[in-house]
Structure 1
């Protein structure tokens, strides 16, 4: 007969065995990390590492103390997770075409108004089938025809007032402004807020280049071209210019001997371009406008508008998938400002930061040392700990109705921003993660499944390392391989 004493002793032995095995695995992970940290390229670097078991929440390894570090684009995980929780995966943004006044016979006695709803993807190249296969502007023109409008007495007004007037966060650097990845955020963004500049360059290095044209055509754009030809076979040209300013200057170099070399830049005034493009299509359809394109400066709560057309975005989950795969700063900043508008009625960067911080504090995340300056991670003023990011990921994994959907938006090797990693080292979908990089910053965060089928949430931040980005990538990849090779931690029942 099995006695109570025997059962107790058996349980005690099992528990001690689990603790011993757990300690052994943790010591092994700590040893691997300690060896890795001795790499000479990390001698003067700031490093943050945090690993947690995806199922039990047990801490597997961490660096101490947990430092607030620049996360780069891994910050997008915080923004996208918050938006998914607050809006839901099926949420769609709306852009409306409407009018004021009245329609008599074939004339609109009033204004035509484009009302921005904060859609980050309107006309996006990432969603060509959704917006461009049957072009959304052609659909708007068709609705004007259906309403029997062939003449408009007033103006074409762009209403982007649900977002603040300032499209750029205060802490973005001048070098980023004007370039496609530093595009401003408007409640009426369009075509990813980017345009392409087409260059030709002479066969000799160090000579002036020529700007051939841009796509799309930007009305009123004035480009001062200071770009030279170079022996270096890469794009080292940068566009400098303030938002809403048509005066832009391009400096740097492009490869020599090119007839059509392309660089991407930020559209200076997306709402105006959207209206200009619509007006061009209206003219081709013989719909005339007496007035001009005007930007509405302030919200008009009591304005009476009659709807003509509504363009809905792809579902939020698909937008988040693009953000986490392709690291699109513009889309992330849109989500941040839209959350601010949703909660505070004011689509500003600072209000969006407040919404996100409050959201995770209420979920039990310790936000001491969490400093957020934008929604995308482009600002050098962002800082958080790897502990905070992993705990947010754990909340999504354990307590979110959309957790599985969220983790499926993260790229697996060698897709999205993980294209540098060798898929042989991470077969199947054993690594799903978001990367973040800027000068002397390389970070990764996501979920790793070990070779022993243990799932781990992790964040690895490197700041101010020596050597190249490629070297930092190899360092982190090697550490993730070592972690994946570590024997599995016994399950705690």
Structure 2
């Protein structure tokens, strides 16, 4: 590889020296490898923010535009989950309540309505917290609690109340191409099955053949899907679903493998509150409890005039796993929905209602008072919005603050680990960085980022963040570039 002269650096890459004079830059292999990486032609017009610091001594190992605030994709989940550890506590649990109005007569008939009061729990029926085939077990446990109350028949409705999050639909900045797909499922006061449904397709024998959408699970009454998916000579799912919250006109484009009798494409549920009500109504029926009238949602009841809830009595309280357990899944598997619920729940506990916007303001204000947050612009909890931006400096200072707090080890435990687990399991295998570099990854079109902790070979504990925008190489190549930085950090 040819090395550029100092004059060439000044002429071609003057931005390298804008933020920091040459004699002030850290003189380490980590710093020089970052600078050398930016000479690659595919990164020539990219924006890069990189910062590495020894968390014990405060020594800066690398600084390349550390204050540059950039979209970082899912690395934003670190801000959400760190904030939740500090503001909610690792032992926090979401609660969903089964309640009723009216009275239970001597025959076991409830002359009133049965309510599901959502508390924002994202784990209800989640594939990350239940075994396959057991996703509905919690609904039958709820039905058993209704029977234990002496209720044999309901002369009323099942009412699903997911109003805690104020029906915001999607966080600001989410794009049309994301929100219909499973990873673009928005937060709701009542969430079920990861707010995800499955489109089942039968594909043709040859490339270009049309496909048949045979069914959707769980059942979503009234939904109409325009199917423009074709069969392909490929093993990949290249189908994309388009639709909006509470809309029942959806369409799906792209291609899926040919010669499949039941190929599954994952999509978001347009109205999780309604699906929760319908699923519970069915569980009650299967448990021998007849419900006289149709399911209602609180959103429906509030459409025309404000609905005033009658006095309610409690039957059962369902508690989620501990927040620390949910955060582990959120960061290691990069689950957007969980991150959004965590952010909304911060708003609930501080303001009495769930809101992405309000939760983000609370987080930014919290960190502004701790480490300064002028370089943090937060519009959602997951990083799916391109309106988010953050600098490497902020992420490292936040990681340092957490390291000194009682929650630093918990945050580290929640991260992926190079060569071992989560979204970084395939990285740095067989190298010094394997098992030493903890992190949260972030990826979207022309955005790649990592941030976390490093346990170096010499026993140092580092905080690091690297964010690259607008590169022209593949995501795979960009990951390889960053792996080089990780190896040098681990070897320090």
TM-score calculated relative to the size of structure 2: 0.90
Check if 1:404 corresponds to 2:403.
Answer: no
1:427 is displaced (CA, Å) by: 5.6
Distance across 2 between alignment mates of 1:147 and 1:367:
51
Q: 1:144 is paired with a residue of what secondary structure?
A: helix
- More moved, 313-322 vs 203-212: 203-212
Q: Find 1:137's aligned residue among 126, 130, 139.
A: 139
Check if 1:471 corresponds to 2:477.
Answer: yes
Task: Indicate the residue corresponding to 2:92 in structure 1.
Answer: 91
Task: Indicate the residue corresponding to 2:21 in structure 1.
Answer: none
Task: Indicate the residue corresponding to 1:489 in structure 2.
Answer: none
Q: Is the 8 A contact 1:227 1:254 kept in 2?
A: yes
| Structural mapping, 1:348-427, within 5 Å | 348-363=355-370, 365-398=371-404, 400-414=405-419, 415-426=421-432
Task: Indicate the residue corresponding to 2:65 in structure 1.
Answer: 64
Q: 2:427 is paired with a residue of what secondary structure?
A: coil
Q: 1:427 to 1:46 in 2, by over 3 A?
A: closer
Task: Indicate the residue corresponding to 1:54 in structure 2.
Answer: 55
Distance across 2 between alignment mates of 1:386 and 1:64:
8
Q: 1:39 to 1:427 in 2, by over 3 A?
A: closer
Q: 2:340 is paired with a residue of what secondary structure?
A: helix
Q: 1:134 to 1:229 in 2, by over 3 A?
A: closer
Q: Deviations over 1:419-459 (max 9, x none)?
A: 33132124662011110000011100011222323221100
Q: Is the 8 A contact 1:126 1:322 kept in 2?
A: yes
Q: Is the 8 A contact 1:57 1:394 kept in 2?
A: no
Unaligned stretches of 5+ residues in structure 2: 1-23
Task: Indicate the residue corresponding to 1:120 in structure 2.
Answer: 122
| Structural mapping, 1:161-310, within 5 Å | 161-297=163-299, 303-310=310-317
Q: Deviations over 1:56-88 (max 9, x none)?
A: 232221113621101100000000011111111
- More moved, 249-258 vs 425-434: 425-434
Distance across 1 between alignment mates of 2:28 and 2:172:
44
Is the radius of gyration larger for structure 1 or structure 2? 1
Q: Deviations over 1:371-411 (max 9, x none)?
A: 1111100001110101001111111001x212111111111
Q: Is the 8 A contact 2:415 2:438 kept in 1?
A: yes
- More moved, 475-484 vs 169-178: 475-484
1:133 is displaced (CA, Å) by: 7.5
1:227 is displaced (CA, Å) by: 0.3
1:189 is displaced (CA, Å) by: 0.4
1:302 is displaced (CA, Å) by: 7.2
Distance across 1 between alignment mates of 2:241 and 2:277:
24
1:215 is displaced (CA, Å) by: 2.8
Q: 1:127 is paired with a residue of what secondary structure?
A: coil
Q: 1:379 is paired with a residue of what secondary structure?
A: coil
Distance across 2 between alignment mates of 1:60 and 1:301:
59
Q: Deviations over 1:454-493 (max 9, x none)?
A: 221100101000111101111100121123334xxxxxxx
Q: Is the 8 A contact 2:125 2:136 kept in 1?
A: no
Q: 1:443 is paired with a residue of what secondary structure?
A: strand
1:54 is displaced (CA, Å) by: 2.1
Q: 2:164 is paired with a residue of what secondary structure?
A: coil
Q: 1:226 is paired with a residue of what secondary structure?
A: strand
1:109 is displaced (CA, Å) by: 1.0
Q: 1:407 to 1:97 in 2, by over 3 A?
A: same
Q: Is the 8 A contact 1:46 1:464 kept in 2?
A: yes
Distance across 2 between alignment mates of 1:306 and 1:193:
28
What is the aligned length?
463
Check if 1:451 corresponds to 2:457.
Answer: yes
Q: 1:24 to 1:77 in 2, by over 3 A?
A: closer
Distance across 1 between alignment mates of 2:434 and 2:32:
27
Distance across 2 between alignment mates of 1:351 and 1:212:
41
* TM-align CA RMSD: 2.1
Q: 1:428 to 1:32 in 2, by over 3 A?
A: closer
Distance across 1 between alignment mates of 2:411 and 2:206:
50
1:26 is displaced (CA, Å) by: 3.0
Distance across 1 between alignment mates of 2:142 and 2:307:
23
TM-score calculated relative to the size of structure 1: 0.90
- More moved, 269-278 vs 217-226: 217-226
Q: Is the 8 A contact 2:184 2:268 kept in 1?
A: yes
Q: Is the 8 A contact 2:418 2:424 kept in 1?
A: yes
Task: Indicate the residue corresponding to 1:18 in structure 2.
Answer: none
